[in-house]
Amino acid sequence: MIGIFDSGVGGLTVLHAIRQNLPSADVIYFGDTKNAPYGEKSREQLSALTVASIRLLQERGATNIVSACNSVSASLAISLLDAFDLQPNQLIEMVGPTVSTFRGSDARVALCATPATVQSGIYQNAFRMIGKDIQAIPVPGLAGAIEFGKGDAEIETAIREAFSNVDPASFDVLVLACTHYPFAISQFKNVLGASIKIFDPAHAVAARVEKQFWPREVGDGRTTFLTSGESLQFKMLVERLFPDVPYTIEIA
3-class DSSP state of 12: helix
Strand order in the sheet with 247-251: 91-92, 64-67, 2-6, 27-31, 223-227, 247-251
**Which residues share a beta bridge with 135?**
110
12, 36, 54, 178: which is the annotated catalytic residue?
A: 178
CB atoms within 10 A of CB 59: 10
Whole-number Cα distances in Å, 36 to 46, 49, 117, 129, 232: 11, 10, 15, 31, 14
Q: Give the number of C-alpha atoms closer than 13 A to the C-alpha of residue 212, restricted to the C-beta side.
A: 21
Whole-number Cα distances in Å, 3 to 111, 121, 127, 186: 27, 26, 27, 29
2, 49, 56, 69: which is the annotated catalytic residue?
A: 69
d(CA 138, CA 141): 10
Note if 69 is an active site residue: yes
First to last CA, the chain: 18
Note if 112 is an active site residue: no
Whole-number Cα distances in Å, 250 to 176, 200, 208, 228, 241: 29, 28, 28, 9, 18
As annotated, the active-site residues are 69, 178
